[in-house]
Amino acid sequence: MLPSLLHVLHLMRDARAAALEEGLAISFPFTASDVEAIHTHCSRYGRGVYFRLKDGCVFNAFGAELDPNPACYDSSQPVPQSLRHTEVLTRGALFE
């Protein structure tokens, strides 16, 4: 099931706000309508928000492109409604 466009927009907005609080300015190289799925765990970086696009590319909450291999991601955990209330920004993948 595709995530709702509104939900994706909220997660992207919250990711930008959280990054700004850390002194980082991020920009996503995709739009919310490009997102096919949201993953909540990556085997390399752990818990986070990972946007899988319809073309198969995967980006983290900082807008960095990551390994697109579906085996690296787990979507069994519920997707957070907001990034402000969870620790989902994966700093380890910031400059992948």
What tens digit of pLDDT does each residue of 32-64 get?
999 999 998 899 988 888 999 999 999 998 899
pTM reported for the whole predicted model: 0.78
- The arithmetic mean of pLDDT across residues 14-38, rounded, is 90
pLDDT in the model for residue 25: 85
Whether 62 contacts 74, CB under 8 Å: no
- The arithmetic mean of pLDDT across residues 16-28, rounded, is 87
Structure-token pair, residue 37: 């799925």
Structure-token pair, residue 41: 């765990």
CA 8 – CA 18 distance, rounded (Å):
15
pLDDT tier at 75 (50, 70, 90 boundaries)? low
Taking all residues of the chain, what is their mean pLDDT, rounded to a whole number?
A: 81
